[in-house]
Structure 1
């Protein structure tokens, strides 16, 4: 079983003020600003609602890839992609079945151009910007351009007032928790090596943000 945020939150010091659930008015303002920046936004009440929204948006026959996301694990998407009843092409199953390291790395790069790429972010500014970072870039590489469609899933706990606060949340909440997870899962420390500030989506309908009215991920 994959470890979730709750496994680390008691032992890892984070800035709890940047992980609180926002007021309904804050969520509404964030949705308006994200939409003004070109993102499609769906607000889901809970994990099952979020998963249903995702399923309804991916057509039969689409190639589907996801970057690592605790939120996608928590809502059941990762398990559904691998084992669920769908007609999608599950690229992670194909990739992780490759034994040769070089071939697997090449397949991971090619998967950035999937029809649908799903993942999370580390912070959302109420002003309408998304902030995410990776050690390798295997998640955020698809977001700006490579993937045909992008679906970003996030709990509303990642909403903070400004872009500066979003960058602060990346450093003081997301990184410490991800670093603990990476050491446990891979035996190496994580790093904010490659960082994305997603300010606008210029291609209509390409990027959807699914906001869940609960606390998910980090």
Structure 2
């Protein structure tokens, strides 16, 4: 998440020693020999901290993903979800949020992925959360500055 990078949250989670970041653990695992274990670990973490690509005025959250791997935990697998959302991501409705994903976020993420990994990105999966069945499970923090894509 570019939002978590910009705020220093990602660095704090991964380097402070106060947390046990799953991402670093997964990077150290052998993809061929431990693929099933990696999938199980990633599907139901205790906490997920991330961002969204759009937040509608009536509260829908839109998250796009190339692989989709993070979407299951956001929808239901994670115990707690914390979203940090730059105020520029607020849009009037879902249709405007979808346009924001395709016309604004995707080109920026595609360029970032090509620089970072040498491969293109893609809007291959989109999660739209209209209502959370367990309200205390998801926390959205809106930051009044331009953060992330």
Give the TM-score normalised by the residue count of structure 1: 0.64
State the secondary structure of the residue aligned to 1:208. strand
State the secondary structure of the residue aligned to 1:152. strand
1:50 matched residue in structure 2: none
> Of 51, 57, 74, which aligns to 1:143?
74
Matched, 1:170 2:98: no
1:84 matched residue in structure 2: 16
Q: Is the radius of gyration larger for structure 1 or structure 2?
A: 1
Q: How does 1:65-104 map to 2 (within 5 A)?
A: 69-86=1-18, 88-104=19-35
Q: Structure 1 CA distance, aligned partners of 2:88 and 2:45?
A: 28
Q: Structure 1 CA distance, aligned partners of 2:7 and 2:114?
A: 23
1:107 matched residue in structure 2: 38
> Of 139, 154, 172, which aligns to 2:85?
154
Q: How does 1:1-218 map to 2 (within 5 A)?
A: 69-86=1-18, 88-104=19-35, 106-218=37-149
* 1:119–1:171 CA distance, 2 compared to 1 (3 A): same
Tell me the C-alpha RMSD between the 2 structures: 1.5
Name structure 2 gaps, 5 residues minimum: none
Task: After the TM superposition, list the runs of 4 or more consecutive aligned residues in structure 1 that deviate by more than 3 angstroms.
Answer: 99-102
